[in-house]
C-alpha cells in the first residue's frame, strides 16, 4: 500500500490508492493541529460554525481534523488506544472507497462487476469453510443474517405467509429453539424483528448431569419438541453454538442435526469455533457444522479486517423465497458489500488465511498447557466437568469419569481458553476458608485478576466474562483479538509470568481476609464492613467514642474522621492500597484495604488504623472545643487582671495612683515589683502560674516534640510498614543483615539517651500568655486595665 499504484489501467483507481495511503499516514502519525491553526480557523469566520468557514478545507486539513477528534483526548491522558491497521486492513478500507467509485458506473457494467465479486467471494468462503453448494448473504449486523434466515424458514413452512401474514401463524404458532448459552438477547431480538410474541421462543437449558455445562441438553430438547408438536405448534428453527460466547464450548451438532431432520427443522450454527473449519485438521465436534442448513461467519475479527461484513452461508433451492426473505437482492449496489472482503481475501490468499487461524489456535494451546501447571488455576474443562454425579459402586464411577473426561477433551478443543483462580488449592492457616468465603469473594478476586492481566499485558487481549455456573472467569480468545492486536507467543509467555506473580497475592489475600476481620472485631473503635465484591482484605470504619451527639452530628463526625484517616493511610510508606470503596458500595464512610502479600502483619495494620484514628478524633475534639475554651479563658483572664489591679491598689496605696504624687513617691521610695505570669492551657481551659516555666531556663528554648509514638514497631532500614521482619529475609545477604542490626542498635541507644535527657527537664505542652502585673516606676494612666483586656481578646 505504500508504493504508488502506477500500473493500474484506470488513473482514478491509482489516485484513490495513493490518497488512501496518504490518509492512513496522516491518521497514524499522531500529529495534532497547532494552536496557531486553531486560532486562525476560529477568527476566519464568526457567523458560520466549524469546518464550513471560508472557502472550504483541503484534504489534509480535513484529515487533520479527523486526527484531532480521534486522538485528542488520548494524548491528554498520555496514551493511544487506536490499534494498528495492518496491510490486509488497508485493503478492506480501500474496498469501501472502491465501492463508492464503482457504484457510479453504468448499470450493465455495474451488474457484471457486482455479480463477479459476489460469486467469487461466495465460492471462496464455501471452499474455505467446507460448506458445499451454499449461498452467501453479507450483512453489517451479526444478527441480521439469522433474522432473514428465520424469514426464509417461515415462508417455507407457511406457503401463504407472503399474502396472509401473521394470520397464518395464529392457528399454528411457530417455535424457535435456542440454547441458554447463546448470546444474551438474541432470541428477543429475533422475535422483535419478526413480529413474533416471546411465547414463540423456547430457551433450551444446558446439561446439568453429564457433559459441558455450556452445551445444550439434547434429551430435554427432544422432549420439548415432542410436547410442542403435540400441542399443535410448529417447531421452526434451532440455533446451536460452535463456540459459545462465554466459554467457547460446542454443542453436540451431529445429534442436533439428527433431531432437526427428524422433526423437519432448520439448523443454524454460529460461534467462533467455525473458524477452525479452514484448518487442515478439524475437531470432530465442529465438523458436523458443515452439514447444517445455515451458519454465520465473522471473518473480520478472525483475520484482522476492519469494517468487513459478516457472512451467513445457507442452502436453499428456491431463489424466489430467498429474495422474499431478503437474503438476495436485485440491486447491484447492495452486492458491493462483499467488495472489501473480496479484496482482503485475495490479498491474504489461502495460506495467509489458514496461517492466521492456525496461529490463534496455537496461542490457545500454548496458554492451556501452561495453565495446567498452575495449582490454583482451573481451566474451563476442569471447572465444568470436575463434578461427576454420585453413583453406587466406585468402579462404575471411575469408568464414567474417565469416559466423560475423554469426551470433554475432544469437545473442548477450542481456541477459547477460560480460567479462574480457585479457592480449593489456596493455602489456609487456622481452619478452612471454603466454609467462610462465598462465591462472591472469588468472583471479586477473579475480576481483579482479569483487569490486572488486561492492563499489564494488553497485547494478550484477555477480558473478564461472567458465566452462570462458574462465576467470574478470565477469557483468552485469540481468534477474536490476536489478528487485530498482533498477539505473539512472547505475549502469552508474559501473560503466564504475570499470572504466576499474582497467584501468591490472591492466595495471601484470601487467607488474610478472615484474620483481618477477626482483628477488626476485637477493636471497640472499629466496625468491620462486609463487602464480598471488594477484591482485597476488606473494609473498616472508625467509630468515634463520643455518644452524646445526635445522629446528624455523629454522621458528620464519622465522615470527617474516616476521610482524614484515609488520607493519612494513603500517605504512609507501604505497599498496601487504601480506597474509599467501590463506586456503588452501600456502606459509606469506609476504608477499604486492597490485596495483601505474604509478609503482611495484619495485627500491626489494624493497630495503626486505630492509633491514627484516635489521634484524629482527639485533635478534632480540641478544635471543636477551641471556641468555648478560648471564651472561658478570656473571662478568667479578665477576672485575674481585675484581681491583680485590686491587689496592686491595696499594696501601693491610693497616693501612688495620683499622677504627680505617685511619681514623687516612686522616686523617693521605689516599689520592688514582682512579675506574675500566667500560662493558658488550651486543652484544660484554665490559667496557671508560669513559675515552673521560669524556674528552668532551658524550658523556654526547647521545642515541643513532634515525633511519632514510641509504640510503633521498630523497622529495619528500607522495610515498609505492616511487614513482618522475618518475611522475605532470604533475599537479604548476611552482611546486609548484620549491618542493619548494628544500625538498629545504634538508633535504639540514641533514643534511650534522648529519653534520659528529657527526663531531667520537665516539659509542658501549653500555650503561654505572660502577663506583666508589676507596677512600673511611672503611674499607669486610667483605662490602661481596660486596654489590656481588649488586647488579650
For residue range 549-586, list pLDDT tens digits in order.
Answer: 677 878 888 888 888 889 998 888 788 889 887 776 77
pLDDT at 768: 40
Could you give the CA distance from residue 461 to residue 317 in angstroms, rounded to a whole number? 42
Query: What grid cell was written down for 70?
Result: 480521534
H helical segments located in 30-132: 35-44, 59-77, 87-102, 107-128
Model pLDDT for residues 216-270, shown as the tens digit of each residue = 999 999 999 999 999 999 999 999 999 998 888 999 999 999 999 999 999 999 9
pLDDT value of position 30: 56
Per residue in 289-331, pLDDT (tens digit) is 999 999 999 999 999 888 899 999 999 989 999 999 999 988 8
pLDDT band at 190 (very low <50, low <70, confident <90, very high): very high
In whole numbers, what is the pLDDT of the chain averaged over residues? 76
**Closest-CA residue to 286 (of 418, 178, 414, 404):** 414
Q: Comparing C-alpha atoms, which of 40, 44, 42, 67 is closest to residue 54?
A: 44
Residue with the bigger pLDDT between 528 and 730: it is: 528
Of 14-18, 251-255, 375-379, 773-777, which has the strongest mean pLDDT?
Answer: 251-255
Is a pLDDT exceeding 60 seen at residue 469?
A: yes
pLDDT: is 383 or 681 the higher one? 681
For residue 313, report the phi and psi dihedrals to the nearest 5 degrees. Answer: -90, 135
Tell me the HSE value of 58 on the side-chain side, using a 13 A CA sphere: 2
* 503 vs 518: CA distance, rounded Å: 24
Please state whether beta strands 234-241 and 266-270 pair in parallel, antiparallel, or not at all (unpaired): parallel
Task: Specify the DSSP class assigned to residue 196.
Answer: -
Q: Tell me: pLDDT of 497 over 80.
A: yes
The residue among 380 and 683 whose pLDDT is bigger is: 380
Residue % of the chain over a pLDDT of 70: 66
For 546, the grid coordinates are: 463520643
**674 closest CA partner among 772, 604, 579:** 772
What pLDDT, on a 0 to 100 scale, did the predictor assign at position 741?
A: 36
Given this model, what pLDDT does residue 639 score? 81
Question: Quick one: pLDDT at residue 19?
Answer: 66
Across 132-136, 512-516, 652-656, 738-742, least confident range: 738-742
Orientation angle between helical segments 339-371 and 478-485, nearest 10 degrees: 110
- Which element (helix H / strand E) includes 403? helix 394-411
Q: Compute the distance between CA of residue 388 and CA of residue 677 in angstroms, rounded to an integer.
A: 88
Question: Which residue did the predictor score with more confidence, 500 or 659?
Answer: 500
* pLDDT, mean of residues 473-479: 94
Residue 431 pLDDT greater than 50, yes or no: no
The DSSP bridge partners found for residue 474 are 419, 464
The separation between CA 431 and the C-alpha centre of its own chain, rounded to angstroms, equals: 32
Count other C-beta atoms under 10 Å from residue 102's C-beta.
19
What tens digit of pLDDT does each residue of 32-74 get? 555 555 555 554 545 556 666 667 777 777 777 777 777 665 5
Average pLDDT on 280-296 reads 93
**What pLDDT does residue 558 have?**
85
Q: What is the mean pLDDT of residues 114-134?
A: 94
Look up residue 109 and give its three cell numbers.
457494467
Cα-Cα-Cα-Cα dihedral sign, residues 212, 218, 219, 223: positive
Strands 294-297, 266-270: pairing kind: parallel
Helix (H, G, I), strand (E, B) or coil at 650: helix
CA 694 from centroid of its chain's CA atoms: 63
Q: DSSP string of 659-712?
A: HHHHHHHHHHS--------EEEETTTTEEEESHHHHHSGGGGGPPPP-PPPTTS
Share of the chain above pLDDT 90, in %: 36
Please name which of 441, 439, 445 lies closest in space to residue 421, comparing C-alpha atoms.
445
**Joined grid coordinates for residue 676:** 506574675
Per-residue pLDDT for 704 more than 50?
Answer: no
With cell 504512609, the residue in question is 572
Name the least confident of 403-407, 451-455, 705-709. 403-407
Instruction: Work out the number of other CB atoms within 10 angstroms of the CB of residue 445.
Output: 27
- Among 23-32, 127-136, 551-560, 591-600, the range of highest mean pLDDT: 127-136
Q: Residue 681 burial (CB < 10 Å; 0-12/13-18/19+)?
A: middle
Mean pLDDT, to the nearest integer, of 106-113?
90
Cβ burial, residue 242 (10 Å; 0-12/13-18/19+): buried
Which is more confidently placed, 747 or 679?
679
Contact 241, 271 (CB under 8 A): yes
Residue showing cell 515589683: 673
Distances (CA, A) of 231 to 154, 172, 173, 228, 234: 19, 9, 10, 5, 9
Amino acid at each position: 500500500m505504500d508504493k504508488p499504484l502506477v500500473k493500474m489501467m484506470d488513473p482514478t483507481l491509482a489516485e484513490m490508492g495513493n490518497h488512501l495511503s496518504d490518509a492512513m499516514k496522516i491518521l497514524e502519525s499522531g500529529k495534532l493541529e497547532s494552536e496557531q491553526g486553531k486560532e486562525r480557523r476560529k477568527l476566519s469566520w464568526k457567523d458560520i460554525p466549524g469546518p464550513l468557514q471560508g472557502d472550504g478545507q483541503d484534504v489534509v486539513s480535513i484529515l487533520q481534523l479527523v486526527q484531532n477528534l480521534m486522538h485528542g483526548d488520548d494524548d491528554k491522558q498520555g496514551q493511544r488506544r487506536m490499534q494498528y491497521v495492518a496491510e490486509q486492513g488497508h485493503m478492506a478500507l480501500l474496498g469501501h472507497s472502491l465501492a463508492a467509485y464503482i457504484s457510479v458506473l453504468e448499470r450493465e457494467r455495474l451488474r457484471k462487476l457486482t455479480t463477479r465479486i459476489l460469486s467469487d467471494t461466495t465460492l471462496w468462503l464455501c471452499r474455505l469453510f467446507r460448506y458445499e453448494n451454499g449461498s452467501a448473504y453479507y450483512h453489517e449486523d451479526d444478527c441480521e443474517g439469522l433474522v432473514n434466515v428465520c424469514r426464509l424458514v417461515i415462508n417455507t413452512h407457511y406457503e401463504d405467509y407472503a399474502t396472509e401474514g401473521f394470520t397464518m401463524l395464529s392457528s399454528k404458532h411457530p417455535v424457535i429453539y435456542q440454547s441458554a448459552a447463546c448470546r444474551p438477547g438474541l432470541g428477543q431480538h429475533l422475535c422483535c424483528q419478526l413480529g413474533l410474541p416471546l411465547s414463540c421462543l423456547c430457551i433450551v437449558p444446558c446439561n446439568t448431569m453429564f457433559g459441558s455445562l455450556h452445551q445444550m441438553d439434547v434429551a430435554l430438547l427432544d422432549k420439548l419438541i415432542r410436547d410442542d408438536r403435540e400441542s399443535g405448534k410448529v417447531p421452526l428453527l434451532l440455533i446451536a453454538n460452535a463456540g459459545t460466547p462465554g466459554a467457547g464450548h460446542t454443542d453436540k451438532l451431529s445429534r442436533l442435526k439428527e433431531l432437526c431432520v427428524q422433526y423437519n427443522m432448520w439448523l443454524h450454527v454460529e460461534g467462533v469455533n467455525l473458524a477452525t473449519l479452514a484448518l487442515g485438521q478439524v475437531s470432530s465436534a465442529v465438523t458436523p457444522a458443515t452439514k447444517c442448513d445455515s451458519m454465520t461467519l465473522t471473518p473480520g475479527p478472525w483475520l484482522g479486517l476492519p469494517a468487513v461484513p459478516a457472512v451467513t452461508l445457507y442452502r436453499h433451492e428456491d431463489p424466489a423465497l430467498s429474495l422474499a426473505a431478503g437474503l438476495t437482492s436485485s440491486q447491484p449496489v447492495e452486492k458491493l458489500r462483499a467488495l472489501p472482503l473480496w479484496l482482503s481475501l485475495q490479498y491474504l490468499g489461502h495460506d495467509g488465511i489458514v496461517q492466521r487461524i492456525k496461529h490463534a489456535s496455537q496461542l490457545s494451546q500454548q496458554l492451556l498447557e501452561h495453565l495446567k501447571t498452575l495449582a490454583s488455576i482451573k481451566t474451563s474443562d476442569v471447572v465444568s466437568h470436575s463434578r461427576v454425579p454420585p453413583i453406587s459402586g466406585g468402579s462404575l464411577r471411575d469408568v464414567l469419569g474417565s469416559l466423560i473426561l475423554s469426551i470433554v477433551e475432544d469437545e473442548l478443543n477450542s481456541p477459547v481458553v477460560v480460567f479462574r483462580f480457585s479457592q480449593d488449592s489456596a493455602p489456609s492457616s487456622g481452619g478452612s476458608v471454603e466454609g467462610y468465603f462465598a462465591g462472591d469473594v472469588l468472583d471479586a478476586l477473579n475480576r481483579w485478576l482479569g483487569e490486572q492481566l488486561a492492563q499489564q499485558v494488553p497485547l494478550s487481549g484477555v477480558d473478564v466474562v461472567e458465566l452462570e455456573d462458574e462465576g467470574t472467569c478470565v477469557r483468552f480468545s485469540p481468534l477474536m483479538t490476536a489478528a487485530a492486536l498482533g498477539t505473539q507467543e512472547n505475549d502469552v509467555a508474559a501473560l503466564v509470568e504475570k499470572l504466576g506473580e499474582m497467584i501468591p497475592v490472591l492466595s495471601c489475600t484470601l487467607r488474610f481476609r478472615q484474620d483481618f476481620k477477626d482483628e477488626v472485631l476485637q477493636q471497640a473503635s472499629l466496625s468491620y464492613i462486609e463487602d464480598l465484591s471488594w477484591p482485597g482484605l476488606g473494609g473498616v470504619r472508625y467509630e468515634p467514642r463520643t455518644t452524646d451527639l445526635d445522629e446528624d452530628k455523629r454522621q458528620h463526625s464519622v465522615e470527617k474522621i474516616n476521610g482524614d484517616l484515609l488520607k493519612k493511610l494513603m500517605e504512609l510508606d507501604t505497599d498496601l492500597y487504601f480506597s474509599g470503596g467501590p463506586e456503588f458500595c452501600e456502606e459509606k464512610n469506609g476504608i477499604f484495604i486492597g490485596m495483601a502479600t505474604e509478609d503482611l502483619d495484619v495485627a500491626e495494620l489494624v493497630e495503626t488504623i486505630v492509633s491514627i484514628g484516635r489521634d484524629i478524633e482527639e485533635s478534632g475534639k480540641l478544635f471543636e472545643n477551641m471556641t468555648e475554651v478560648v471564651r472561658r479563658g478570656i473571662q478568667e483572664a479578665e477576672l485575674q487582671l481585675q484581681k491583680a489591679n485590686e491587689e496592686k491598689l491595696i499594696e501601693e496605696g491610693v497616693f501612688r495612683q495620683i499622677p504627680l504624687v505617685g511619681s514623687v513617691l516612686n522616686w523617693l521610695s521605689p516599689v520592688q515589683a514582682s512579675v506574675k505570669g500566667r500560662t493558658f492551657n488550651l486543652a484544660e481551659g484554665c490559667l496557671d502560674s508560669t513559675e515552673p516555666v521560669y524556674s528552668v531556663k532551658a524550658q523556654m528554648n526547647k521545642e515541643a516534640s513532634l515525633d511519632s509514638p514510641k509504640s510503633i514497631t521498630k523497622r529495619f532500614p528500607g522495610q515498609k510498614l505492616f511487614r513482618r521482619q522475618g518475611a522475605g529475609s532470604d533475599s537479604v545477604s548476611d552482611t546486609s543483615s548484620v549491618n542493619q542490626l548494628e544500625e538498629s542498635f545504634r538508633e535504639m541507644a540514641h533514643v534511650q539517651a534522648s529519653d534520659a535527657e528529657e527526663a531531667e527537664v520537665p516539659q509542658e505542652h501549653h500555650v503561654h500568655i505572660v502577663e506583666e502585673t508589676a507596677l512600673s516606676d511611672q503611674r499607669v494612666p486610667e483605662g490602661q486595665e481596660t486596654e489590656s483586656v481588649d488586647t488579650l481578646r
